[in-house]
Amino acid sequence: MKARHLVWLRRISQGFFLLLFVYLLVESRLPQDVYLDYSAAVSGEVDLRLDRPVTFFFKLDPLVGISSLLSGHRFIPGMLWGVGVLLLTLLLGRVFCGFICPFGTLHHMVSWIRPSLKGNRRVQANRKTPGQRIKYFVLILLLAGAVLGLNVSGWMDPIAFLFRSLALAVVPGIGTGLRAVFDAMAGSDIKLIKQLSYGAEVFVAPVFGYSVKAFQTGWVIGLLFLVVLFLNRIRPRFWCRTLCPLGALLGVFSRFSLLKLEKYQDRCTRCNACEGQCQGAAAPKPGNRWETAECLVCFNCFAVCPEDALDFKVRLSPAGGKAPDIGRRAVLSGLLVGISLPFLGRLDGKIHTVADPRLIRPPGSLPESEFLTLCQRCGLCMRVCPTNVINPTLGEAGMAGFWTPRLIMTHGYCEYTCTLCGSVCPTGAIREMTAKEKIQTPVKIGSAYLDRGRCLPWSGNAPCIVCEEHCPTSPKAIYLVDDTVRGSDGRSMQVRLPYIDLKRCVGCGICENKCPVRGLPAIRTIAAGESRSVKNQILL
């Protein structure tokens, strides 16, 4: 196959998988037909499930499977897809990076659009540097931590990083901006502009949501995403060359690749065109030893060479290619930090003692120590949640649980019959269950309590029964008792005082979310009483 055909094949593949990734991200939400008939969907008669393979790219990612196996000692569903990627790497090198990885494609595009480095500066930037060993340091760090029971690979895994960035920062940010524009158009006195705003919202809402979505630390996630993209202005595909742990893993396997770069030094005119277009700084120039572990199989060097001094061929060779340039310091420092992280993560005591009362995990979550061995911090459960209640943690779970999911009831509430978060979790940190199992067991994620000083009836400020009206359990966990209280003016007031039956409360948080006392609601939900923890039970 000619060089230009290979380049176009790579571009088509990159475009297809990037669009597929974005499509699956958009589809990681409550289906539109269910949204339009929401009352029927939450009846519990039919389990809410997505009919799209939204976890496809996580199954393709061998780092997700390996880190889950090392930390949680279990094979996650679909892990064989990742094994297939490793086998493909043994045959063709880092073809996943060059042809499939959507994050790599994004970096490729940013590096190509108005490149800041041109001519000799670009050639110099595309030569290998010691900094490319950093990705091996990151890989060893993550794997060493996983062996000791702390799985933080999702912090740097490219699929998790990209999904988290788009789902929790980019998409909500664009949605908020578009909604502000449509609201301004809807307030116009010009009828045509007003009608255009309504029409545009019909098409935009299914992608960006029907309401404003906000996520804790979303701005940090978005800022990191922009910084990583900006680094491509310093070095093309900076992330892939220097930081990506999945690229480092595939680089180790690519040493035995059957795809070889043949160099014909007698034809080379030293024009440096191959180095100027090399995406991985893999030393394609004749006279230099090809860096197999760094090559992204983009075929740019092959296509741009004017003298046909380069050629890719599949050859059976008894000896492997050049070993990855990992470096002793990267190995030792990676092991040191990787071993230290699990111990540092336990110093706050939030794994083995009673958790922070604000740390309410999604329904079906494993016990905390097991949960942290499998959670990828990918944001899939947060994206799919129809009420926006699932958010990334900040300090509630300590360092070991940073960016893992928690429920913030002022943002939303856990729909009584919804089990979408467990159905999309790629590693089983949130187990899959049916709506019937969730209701009948019941699965408790916490308990509600009353702040009588802020409660309108209890404080004598006004009658209110909002929390009891919204309580979804049957019989209701919130019940009312008729009583008389004295108001601030000294007059008696007939009210119905709310009480909570902790045996029936499942901690869904709808009472907190709907409480008319805003800011700090008069009824709040804490993690105490959650089903997943023996230590965090309320003894009645």
The model's confidence at residue 443, banded by pLDDT at 50, 70 and 90, is very high
Q: Give residue-wise pLDDT tens across range 395-430.
A: 888 888 899 999 999 999 999 989 999 999 999 999
Which residues does 300 contact at the CB level (< 8 Å), separation at least 6?
7, 274, 277, 278, 279
Would you state the pLDDT for residue 289?
86
Q: Give residue-wise pLDDT tens across range 7-40.
A: 899 999 999 999 999 999 998 987 766 655 555 5
Give the whole-angstrom CA distance, residue 395 versus residue 33: 37
Whether this prediction's pTM lies above 0.95 is answered by: no
Q: Greater confidence, 354 or 131?
A: 131
The model's confidence at residue 42, banded by pLDDT at 50, 70 and 90, is low
- Whether residue 95 is predicted with pLDDT greater than 80 in this model: the reply is yes
H or E stretch at 538? none
Q: Greater confidence, 245 or 117?
A: 245
Q: Greater confidence, 186 or 478?
A: 478
Would you state the pLDDT for residue 256?
85
Give the whole-angstrom CA distance, residue 167 versus residue 405: 13
Query: How does the average pLDDT of the chain come out, rounded?
Result: 87
- Whether residue 478 is predicted with pLDDT greater than 80 in this model: the reply is yes
Give the whole-angstrom CA distance, residue 493 versus residue 487: 7
Per DSSP, the residues of 2-67 read -HHHHHHHHHHHHHHHHHHHHHHHHTSS--HHHHHTHHHHTTSSS----SS-TTHHHHH-HHHHHH
- Whether residue 213 is predicted with pLDDT greater than 70 in this model: the reply is yes
Q: Rounded mean pLDDT of 316-341?
A: 81
Would you state the pLDDT for residue 261?
87
Instruction: Give which of 239, 209, 50, 244 is closest to 136, Cα–Cα.
Output: 244
Worst-scoring range by mean pLDDT, 155-159, 276-280, 365-369, 432-436? Answer: 276-280
- Whether residue 382 is predicted with pLDDT greater than 60 in this model: the reply is yes
Q: Rounded mean pLDDT of 128-141?
A: 90
Would you state the pLDDT for residue 276?
83
Would you state the pLDDT for residue 39?
55
Would you state the pLDDT for residue 422?
93
The tokens describing 461, both together, are 């400020």
- Whether residue 486 is predicted with pLDDT greater than 60 in this model: the reply is yes
Write the CA distances from 3 to 8, 113, 283, 303, 437, integer angstroms.
9, 22, 18, 5, 57
Q: Give residue-wise pLDDT tens across range 56-88.
A: 999 999 999 999 999 988 888 888 999 999 999
Would you state the pLDDT for residue 235?
85
Q: Where are the beta strands (DSSP E) in 186-292?
A: 259-263
Q: Is the peptide bond before 442 cis (omega within 30 degrees of 0)?
A: yes
Q: Greater confidence, 126 or 152?
A: 152
The model's confidence at residue 315, banded by pLDDT at 50, 70 and 90, is confident
Q: Greater confidence, 445 or 211?
A: 445
Would you state the pLDDT for residue 540?
66
Would you state the pLDDT for residue 526?
94
**Amino acid at position 150, single letter:** L
Name the DSSP letter for residue 490: S
The tokens describing 383, both together, are 């994206």
Q: Rounded mean pLDDT of 115-137?
A: 77
Q: How does 380-406 read in b/e, with b if 16+ C-beta sit within 10 Å?
A: bbbbbbbbbbbbbbeebbbebbbbbbb
Give the whole-angstrom CA distance, residue 70 versus residue 142: 10
The tokens describing 415, both together, are 């729909």
The model's confidence at residue 122, banded by pLDDT at 50, 70 and 90, is low
Which residues does 176 contact at the CB level (< 8 Å), separation at least 6?
212, 213
Would you state the pLDDT for residue 390?
96
Would you state the pLDDT for residue 319?
56
Would you state the pLDDT for residue 178?
82
Would you state the pLDDT for residue 38?
54
